[in-house]
Amino acid sequence: MSREHLFTGFREETFVFLRALGMNNNKPWFTQHKTEYYEFLLNPLKNLVSDLSEFMLTIDPYFEVSPAVNRTISRIYRDTRFTKNKSPYKTTAWITFKRPKRDWKDSPAYFFELSPYSYRFGMGLYSASPNTMRSFRETIDEDPKKFNRVVSFYGKQDIFHIAGEKYVRLIDKSKSGAILEWYQRKNLYLVCNRNIDKTLFGPGLVDYLTSSFSLLKPLYQYLLEVRKPSPDKANAQGGISAK
């Protein structure tokens, strides 16, 4: 990037704050340390989004790139209405680049996430519906050569690995093991998991994410084009048991 980075790196205090929040997950403690949340976590995340936004729009011009909470940046506050865990605050924080649509879970998205002792980043379909994953398999079946071209980068890199829950029962015994790594997924994403390292503490993180995310562009565009199945095909294929 030609312009100077706004993001200068996270600080050790970022992770001190996240770890302390995990041990003091209550409103009085958070209120007392709220300035640390802004200084060491939220503001760096905003700057990171701002620095990545121009590049991310070259991947998809319809991405939401506003450096704001509930747009690209996760809320610190947990929704405790439907869970037994009533801790009011999240001890992880993340940014996502996705299209601003109601059914975004069925569209691919890029992400970067910080935890108290680690970080990760990647792209994929994290909470896709069974119909969307069925469409993904149909799209592979319709043009296997195209899919092989799209994922040909995977074996040439050592940053990302395939993740996502798999069906236990084999869906298609005729598929090769390499294809089944993709084909068997209930949800699908490529992710890089790393312990906290020096990459996080300087502006070089922007360039590292840019180069890493660029590897995933062909797959992102492929997933974006996965069409929804027709009702007839969906009914014909039926559900797939996870048992």
pLDDT of residue 227: 62
Separation of alpha carbons 82 and 78, rounded Å: 11
**Exposed/middle/buried for 153, CB within 10 Å: 0-12, 13-18, 19+?**
middle
Q: Is residue 93 part of a domain?
A: yes
Separation of alpha carbons 232 and 99, rounded Å: 28
pLDDT of residue 11: 98
Q: Is residue 128 part of a domain?
A: yes
Separation of alpha carbons 123 and 100, rounded Å: 16
Q: Is residue 242 part of a domain?
A: no
Q: Is residue 152 part of a domain?
A: yes
pLDDT of residue 238: 44
Averaged pLDDT in 10-residue chunks for the chain of 243 residues: 82 98 97 98 98 98 96 94 88 96 84 98 93 95 96 97 96 94 96 98 98 98 78 47 39
Q: Which domain holds residue 206?
A: 12-237
Count how many domains the chain has. 1
**Exposed/middle/buried for 217, CB within 10 Å: 0-12, 13-18, 19+?**
middle
Q: Is residue 7 part of a domain?
A: no
**Residue 162 φ then ψ, to 5°:** -75, 135
pLDDT of residue 150: 97
Edge to edge, the sheet with strand 93-97 lists: 93-97, 109-114, 118-125, 188-195, 161-163
Q: Is residue 104 part of a domain?
A: yes
Q: Is residue 77 part of a domain?
A: yes
Q: What is the CATH number of the domain that holds 152?
A: 3.30.930.20
Two structure tokens written together for 61:
């011009």
Q: Is residue 5 part of a domain?
A: no
For the four alpha carbons of 149, 153, 154 and 155, in that order, the dihedral sign comes to positive
